[in-house]
Amino acid sequence: MNANHWNNEGFHSHLAEAERITQLAQAGEQMVERLRRTAFLPGATKALNVRLGIAEAAELLGCSTNRIRMAEQDGRLPPPPESDTGRRLGYDIPALLNMRQVLGASPRRSPEDPPAIITVQNFKGGVGKSTVTTHLAHYLAVQGYRVLVVDCDSQATTTTLFGFNPHFAIRREETLYPYLSIEPTEDSLHYAVKSTIWPNVDLIPSNLQMFDVEYELAAAGSGGGGTLASRFRKLKQGLNELAQDYDVVLLDPPPALGTISLAVMQAANALLVPLAATTPDFCSTVQFLSMMSQVITQLQEAGIQVEYDFCRLICSKFNSNDPSHAMIQRIMEQSFGPALLPIPILESAEISHAALRMMTVYELEKPVGTPKTHKRCRSNIDEAMGQIEKLIRLRWGRVDNEKGAALAAAL
């Protein structure tokens, strides 16, 4: 847009205020697309270029480097590609998944184990809900699990972090809308599942038009609870059907107490509540839990069951150098006890830098800041997400080692 069209305050001088909002939205959407294209160059398409050395691969697989080399020597595993100088370039994620299968190191659930359907939920925005969801998805992917991420939020931050532009690349027909609409055109959710650059992570995307579902379901609810209850049951049924092809399903609902959030709340079988270490976040989370308690009671009175295998809170933005954060963490511990996961997610420039590139820390080919900062961040994310993995595996009756058993007791 020509700069001459703007006055000194940066606004069109001849536009009404409401029209300016449209202009601002369009300008912002165009900038998002420019950022996406810049982040994903060359080709403007997101790619997964992470490679792991043999020591890191062995640690992830729980075996020795010698076992990997022997499997390569006897032909069970292909060696990693080499550079022109003969240097091993490391293993990509598909190679790592193949190694898990060949060496019997897959963590996948057995057919009799129920898939975990986890909603990452808080009614307050800005707590890192989408950041937790995407990092958890990618952590589980690296560990070898099959993951489905369902973006139920019309803001579509999770969809964006997976490399899809919700404004330009996702149509309403590709979201949950055709399934949850008052006049649905789909009877199964399989139509909405998209592959991602991660070979073992799929996504049901969202976009702004998902908000239409809120209007429709709210209108249906005002005329009686029957239609609303049927949609709640339909979402749960659809997710249960899809979940049979995965180990873990992660649900990212809107940060508000709306009909979609209620439907997601009752469709899940586990709850993870992220919150930051500030007084307003603590207070709003207490209100969230209070509202959830009331809503669950009302849903159950209406014949809609809500049952969770685990409910945990995780501090999602913790600054270990801030005394106020340490104080709030102690308040959380006193209030929530063992329901608060002991390892918080530390604030890190690496997470922010990765988000600027529409990535998670697990997708960075190399550190954005210093190697020390990256290593500290990655180690913390692994530990924090590992707490949730332990809860999932406990649900399947698995405790892998003494350290895992000790953490399980704490959880």
Domain annotation covers residue 80: no
Answer yes or no: is 8 within a domain: no
pLDDT of residue 19: 62
Inter-residue contact 137 to 250 (CB < 8 Å): yes
DSSP string, 315-330: EEEB-TT-HHHHHHHH
Strand partners, 52: 91
Closest C-alpha among 363, 411, 364 to residue 383: 411
- Whether 216 maps to a domain, the answer reads yes
Query: Is the distance from CB of 179 to CB of 192 less than 8 angstroms?
Result: yes
Running along the chain, 411 residues long, what does each successive block of 10 average in pLDDT?
Answer: 48 55 68 64 66 94 95 94 89 94 94 96 83 96 97 93 87 94 92 96 95 82 68 91 97 88 91 91 88 84 85 91 92 91 94 88 90 93 97 88 47 53
CB 144 within 8 A of CB 109: no
User: How far is Cα 409 from Cα 411, in angstroms, rounded to an integer?
Assistant: 5
Alpha-carbon distance values, 182 to 187, 205, 300 (Å): 12, 20, 23
Based on the structure, what is the number of domains in the chain?
Answer: 1
Q: Is 32 contained in some domain?
A: no
Tell me if 39 is assigned to some domain: no
Give me the CATH number covering residue 187: 3.40.50.300
Of the candidates 253, 259, 255, the residue with the CA atom closest to the CA atom of residue 215: 259
Residue 46 lies in a domain: no
Task: With respect to residue 15, please indicate whether it lies within any of the assigned structural domains.
Answer: no
pTM (two decimals): 0.86
Please give the pLDDT value at position 327: 92
pLDDT the model gives residue 58? 95
Q: Which helix (H) or strand (E) holds 93?
A: helix 93-102
Domain hosting 254: range is: 116-395
CB 410 within 8 A of CB 342: yes
> Is position 19 within any domain?
no
Q: What is the pLDDT of residue 376?
A: 94
